[in-house]
Amino acid sequence: MQTNTNNRPGTVQTARLRLDTNRIKGDFPILEEKINGHRLVYLDSAATSQKPTVVINAILDFYRHKNANIHRGIHSLAEKATAAYEHTRQRVAHFIGDVDPEEVIFTRGATEGINLLAFSWGEANIEEGDEIVITEMEHHANLVPWVILAQKKKAILKRIPITLCGHLDLSNIDEIITPKTKLLALTHMSNVLGTVNPVAELTELAHRQGAIVLADGAQAVPHMAVDVKALGVDFYAFSSHKMLGPTGVGVLYGKRALLEAMPPFNMGGEMIREVHFDRITWNEIPHKFEAGTPDIANVVAFEAALTYLEELGMDKIREHEIALTKYAIGRLSEIDGLEIQGPQEAELRGGAISFTDHDIHPHDISTFLDTKGIAIRAGHHCAQPLMRILGKIATARASLYIYNDEADIDALIDALIDMRRYFGV
């Protein structure tokens, strides 16, 4: 993987940030918290983002004024709750490229969406000898379901390798994606390397071979404009909690014809049309895949997160993060002994920056930074196969978002320098 460039202090340009982070920070109450006597520097948004006041208030507003179950009652509260829930579905459909709202399935998260696809579409369509293609940089959520399915169905799991710079190695892609390929499942943006993958290009190639394509967009949708129709993918999964919204809410987008042909995932209320003791017929999409009472309040509050992001502008968010990522990589490269994983070019990656210190374990890095009020992630990041390829037990990861600025990066750098001094390296 890419190592540091050993730039000396003073070589890093000031970042040209597109967002007013001083104003934005004021929208997030938790950023006023003191951690171990220091201001909170939150650099763990790839794990989960913080929530603005408008989202927190939207949850409270639902329980105060709209709380009822949906799609069942005909009383006023039930109709208000249903309308609010379905309004979020429409907003999501618009957010990812003006798709048909009925192609938007609400789940508990990207993980459940991918499992839904594996157990519904996968069980019905994968047969012995079929090929499933993944990449070497997948999160476990987009890896484990396909490993299990391939083992169960006696299918063949193939993978697209990565280069030393953290990009996909497409030199032999025609030997990996073949007429035997039934599914290509790949991350849009790596949660470890930050790499933005050429999803549209690979989707076109997979479709020529008759395969369908799932993209894991958990890291991409919060940070860049995503148009699933332009990408051409058949399925796209992501989570609310990484994009300012509540936990427990996810989205699986799927093309209508594929969703209509798939059997349901969970069984129970709302996903049925008629039930008899000897036969059952299923409801129409999207309801066929939303059995039981969903997390109504959090789905409704997710709409406030979408509005917040749209008002900032996804293009501006992407430009802001490119500038800040460039600044962060430059500043991290000033510190001898650090090794940065993934592409060095900020334009080709997201703001999840994984790094290691040649002398200090990532867990110790995270623990020390916490004493300074700085929150990062340390571990294998639910990507153990990738860690083995990188030759790492774990990495430290600082991940950026809309409320981060140069001052946050500078605090991180100062703390890392103090850490190395503390450990005597």
The pLDDT score that the predictor gives to residue 247 is 98
The pLDDT score that the predictor gives to residue 261 is 96
Q: From residue 280, how far is each of 70, 107, 193, 265, 276 by CA, in Å? A: 22, 23, 46, 14, 6
pLDDT under 50: residue ranges of the chain: 1-12
Q: Known catalytic residue: 382?
A: yes
Residue 246: which of 361, 140, 88 has the closest Cα?
88
Q: Which of 156, 170, 200, 382 is catalytic?
A: 382
> All domains of the chain, ordered by start, with CATH?
21-48+313-422 (3.90.1150.10), 55-310 (3.40.640.10)
Distance CA 287, CA 301 (A): 20
Largest Cα separation within the chain, whole Å, is 75
The pLDDT score that the predictor gives to residue 13 is 58
Contact predicate 329/201, CB 8 Å: no
Q: pTM of the prediction? A: 0.95
Contact predicate 31/25, CB 8 Å: yes
The pLDDT score that the predictor gives to residue 3 is 41
The pLDDT score that the predictor gives to residue 223 is 98
Q: What is the pLDDT of residues 268-324, one digit of tens each?
A: 878 877 888 888 888 888 999 999 999 999 999 999 999 999 999 999 999 999 999
The pLDDT score that the predictor gives to residue 4 is 41
The pLDDT score that the predictor gives to residue 2 is 44
